[in-house]
Every structure is written in C-alpha cells, then in structure tokens.
Amino acid sequence: MGNILVQYYSETGHTQEMAELVAQGARRVLGIEVRLKPLAECSLADVLWCDGLALGAPTHLASIPWRVKKWWDEAVDQAWGRIDGKFACAFSSEGGLGGGAELTCMGLLTMLMNYGFLVFGATDYVAPLHTLHYGVALPGHPKTEAEKELCLRLGIRLGEWVAYYVDGNEACHPRNATYSRHG
C-alpha cells in the first residue's frame, strides 16, 4: 500500500476545495491510501508515514504563507536528513491570474527539495488551455470542470508515481492510463 498525505492550509476555503479534489484523484489509483489533513491537524508522524505528499497553500505575496513555513521550519526540522526520497507536488490558489500561484508552487517544491523530496509537475493538458506543469496554480477556487480536473489529475499523478515506484505496480504508470493526457 502506498501512502499519500494531502496537506493543506486554507483561509477562505479555496485551497481546501482544491485539496479535496487532489485527495479524490489520488484515491482513484489502485492500492493507494490517502490522508487529507489541514495543516493544523498534521504532525510529523504524517510526513514520516507518507510515501507521497501533495502540499497546498494559498498564494501570499507569491510565496509560502507564514503559518505553512513555520510548520515546515519547526515541526519537520528534527526529521531533516531522514525523510529523503519521498515524492511531492504542490497546488496553490491565487487572488487573480498572474498573481503568483506558479511561483508559490515552485516555492513549496523548493522547500521540499531541501528535505530531500523528489518533486514534479504533470505534462498533461486536461483540457484546452489548462495544464499543471508545476502543480495546480489557479485564480480563486476551482470553478470550471477543467479547473476541477487539474486538481484531480495532480492527485492521480502523485498516486501513479507512488504506486509505480513504491508499490512496484507497473500497471499504474501514467503511460498506461485510460484518461486523455492531452485534452
């Protein structure tokens, strides 16, 4: 069984909506167990438990909100050097198109690289003009079917890499997927 943690921090509910869809996507992958948790309910044990992590936060000044940074600066610090090699991706809700969500996703991933995570985005277009190359970066909350599909796909991809690499389940490699990858 591959273990996936979807950790999110949300103030307005936008990022929480995204997180729920990411978790739903991950659960579609064979043999994956998912924990969906707000930051405030997470402990280091959750990070130690997981094989893959989807980390979500709203975009604050194109960067990680301080509460999220505090948690990773402090709660995980003692495990530094002992959690290398887990898989991770990111998602962020921004105030508007061009508002810094891509930069926030990369900021989250950069922080996780420091802990030794293997980080990724997805090459897929889930619909015309909708992709998630560095994670899901979108204005407001997921409103359209395409925006919801972005979140689902991120969870699916995380599940696929964990199922393929950690569980050794060849059938779960994205190349064997039945969904359209380039809508």
Q: Taken in order 77, 112, 102, 150, is the CA torsion positive or negative?
A: negative
Site string for a second copy, 80-109 (x = CB under 8 A): xxx-xx-x-------xxxxxxxxx--xx--
Shortest distance in whole angstroms from residue 176 CB to a second copy: 12
* 75 contacts a second copy (rule: CB under 8 A): no
- DSSP code at position 65: -
Subset of 151-170 contacting a second copy (CB under 8 A): 161, 164-165, 168
What lies within 8 Å, CB to CB, of 41 at 6+ separation is none
Number of neighbours of residue 134 by Cβ within 10 angstroms: 22
Per DSSP, the residues of 112-167 read HHHTT-EE--EEEEEETTEEEBTBEEEESS--SHHHHHHHHHHHHHHHHHIIIIIS
Site string for a second copy, 108-147 (x = CB under 8 A): --xx-xxxxxxxxxxxxx--xxxxxxxxxxxxx------x
Give me 80's structure tokens.
């530094």
Among 2, 25, 65, 159, binds a second copy (CB under 8 A): 65
- Chain positions contacting a second copy, by CB under 8 A: 60-67, 69-70, 72-74, 80-82, 84-85, 87, 95-103, 106-107, 110-111, 113-125, 128-140, 147, 150, 161, 164-165, 168, 173-175, 181-182
